[in-house]
Chains A and B, each alone.
Chain A
Amino acid sequence: MTPLYKENSAGVYSNNVRFQYLISPKTDQSIVNAILVSAKGDDGKPTYKELVVRKNRTAKDTNFWRMKAAFNAGLLRFTFKDIVSVEGFIHGGINTVFGAYGGVDVLGFDGQYGGGISVMLFNSFLLRFGIHHFSGHWGDEILADFYCNDNPSFHNPYIKGVDYEATTEYTRNNSYYFDLGYKFKDYFTFTFETELPQSNAWIRPASHVPANTTKPHSEESPLDNNCSAEIWEDEGFLGSDNSAYPSSYRALRFSLGLEGQYWIKNIGRIYAAGEIDFHQDGKIDPVKCVYDKDRPWEVEYSAALGFAFARSEYDTEFVIEASYHSGRFPLLNYFFKKTSYLAIGIGVNL
């Protein structure tokens, strides 16, 4: 069950169990209090807007509870001496964040799952291939705030067709994985991961869809139409598409990871990990909703320091961890929200 390819402990979406308290700087920038919607710009063209859901949030309301429950498991493994091991793996889980203030409202839920094949060569070189699904969901309580209008602490009611056309979401259904790793004994693991959305896939929001992506057919929508046209229609802009995007834009994600660890016999391991994530969708201008060749890829930085109680690498690990993240807020639908936080918490690595 212990997988050949272990994901980086610092990765925000690594498949493990974490219960964390997030502490962000006490600034207005750290307040998470808006839903991203599509709307008509001044020129009538699509734009994205952040609509605030409550008037009374302040810079004191910038701590959060995060709960992520996910597993990463090898199912079947074939090993030939110390030369090669081949394994079928599955992983997946749910991630959620609550405000550590007010009524501890849930801000959103993320679902992710994946599966494929991992290979280890000479107990050092790692390869992983597979598919990965990412799906962001708004929390019911923040949606209730968004739609409600009978509480003076909320915004005035937003009117569909005037203030917004549709709420947006973040979806990658599904992407290919191509991952490489190198494990130096029991001390260090270096990883380079690539995630490429399939050319026939559901991708949201509309502005992130590569030009030639087609949508999967379904019972309700049987034709494999252009995906961007379909999602733009969902976001209230019938007739829009991303055909002007260059073919080099594929909504790619890359990540570089390094994790070091030191085992203390029969007690566990101390570890330190770092990860840098690169998002090609950072090249999409969120105001004009178009590809901008001059915008850089968006970059995120994450680091973790922890102790994992376990008697061997095959045990379930109980983890005490401190981590730091600078980048997107750790819920998929809040990709538009840049933040940083220090997290302390406990966890389990299955």
Chain B
Amino acid sequence: MKKIFTLLVVLLLSSFLFASFSFSLGPSKPLFHNYESDNFSPRTKIALVYQTASNPEGQILRFDQYEGEYDKDLAYRDPNKTKENLLIQFQIGTAASLLRFKWDNIITFDAAAEAGFNTVCSYLNGNDFIGWDGLYFLGGEAKILNSVLFKAGFRHFSSHIADEVLIRTIQRNPGTFFKGPLEYVRDTIEISLGYENEKFPYISGAGSIIIPLTNSFMEPFAHRPDNIISDGRTNAEKEPELYAVRGDYGSWYKALILQGEIKGQYSINKALDVYMILGGKLHQDGCTKHTLDPSDDDKKWEAEFDAVLGLALKGDNLNVAAEFSYHNGRYPLLGFFWKRSQYISVGFRIY
């Protein structure tokens, strides 16, 4: 705390001593915008989702182990029903710069934070919630020559299965007591590089690498690299039964994520923007096929693709956009990472 206070004082004094420096506390739009096409980037959006394909199909939960079986699927509703193809995605999130230090137009540094929730519920089936994801980021951002963006910090992902799904799973499988379904948890370091220039606002983009921390709680077990120390214990110590089935992956595997996005934008007039966003992700944990079975592992990363077409109404401090989206990748909830999903959606986003 003392160091932080000293740094703030130094920054404040330097802004007085050198006219070309400025320092500000408080909210600003972050230098480095969130990924706008990514389901797991904190954003504020409501959308109606129509799932055109799903693998596996059905309304099921997957468990690491259940009654001695590994990678066990249990239905929480009639697995033959396909009604769950209509979903509502509800996301609420924000990103803000908390401190800004600027040296002319040469370089700007921010301390930035992002936080949000991502949820999905059935459009039918009593609007039952399927899951909740918690997301946050704390770190620093820089913009150099008003064009080149850099970002680094700590990013957290955490999945939660909704109570209505869990209770229905218990009801459909009476006599069995609950074992936790698969979860998706990551504590990571993110490093990103991007481009955005207000004088040429037509194109912007960014790319990131997301690296799990070695000392962190990480789920599911099938995704854990060999070097992870969870609760102070190695994989073999922490989960001996699961480790006996899975074994080591080798040092090449770090559960990395590579992510990128490019946005094209055109201002129709002072009030309206139209834009198109293309985004994608590569998950190294796809090499595990999300199973404990070592015989199905390969070195093929799992890919996701998103495309968004939007029309934005610009406001005084926030914009509202109508968006049409296409997604081909993982189901739009972290806890269902094992389910591939292809969908289109229409909705509104505030940013």
Contacts and interface: CB of A to CB of B under 8 A. Distances in A.
A93 B94 CA distance: 11
Interface residues of B, number: 41
Given A139-B160, A140-B166, A316-B96, A94 B117 contact: yes
Interface in A273-322: 309-310, 314-318
Contact of B117 (A69, A144, A147, A169): A69
Contacts of B125: 220
A309 B26 contact: yes
Nearest to A314: B316
Nearest to B315: A1
A117 B342 CA distance: 37
Interface residues of A, number: 47
B115 to A, nearest CB: 6
A19 B114 CA distance: 11
Contacts of A219: 124
Nearest to B117: A94
A150 B129 CA distance: 27
B119 A69 contact: no
Nearest to A167: B167
B129 A111 contact: yes
B179 A140 contact: no
B115 A109 contact: no
A70 B96 contact: no
B336 to A, nearest CB: 13
Contacts of A71: 44, 92, 94, 350
Contact of B317 (A69, A106, A315): A315
A73 B350 contact: yes
A213 B243 CA distance: 54
B160 A309 contact: no
B27 A317 contact: yes
A102 B279 CA distance: 38
A93 B90 CA distance: 9
Nearest to B167: A167
A62 B178 CA distance: 26
Given A69-B92, A350-B94, A318 B115 contact: no
Given A1-B315, A69-B94, A310-B26, A17 B178 contact: no
Interface string A128-151: 000000000111110110011110
Contact of A73 (B25, B174, B318): B318
A248 interface: no
25 contacts: A2-B316, A2-B317, A17-B115, A67-B134, A69-B116, A71-B92, A71-B350, A73-B320, A75-B320, A106-B160, A111-B90, A111-B119, A111-B129, A140-B160, A140-B163, A140-B180, A141-B160, A143-B163, A143-B166, A157-B177, A169-B163, A310-B26, A316-B96, A318-B96, A350-B318
Closest 4 CB pairs of A and B: A309-B26, A147-B178, A318-B27, A1-B315
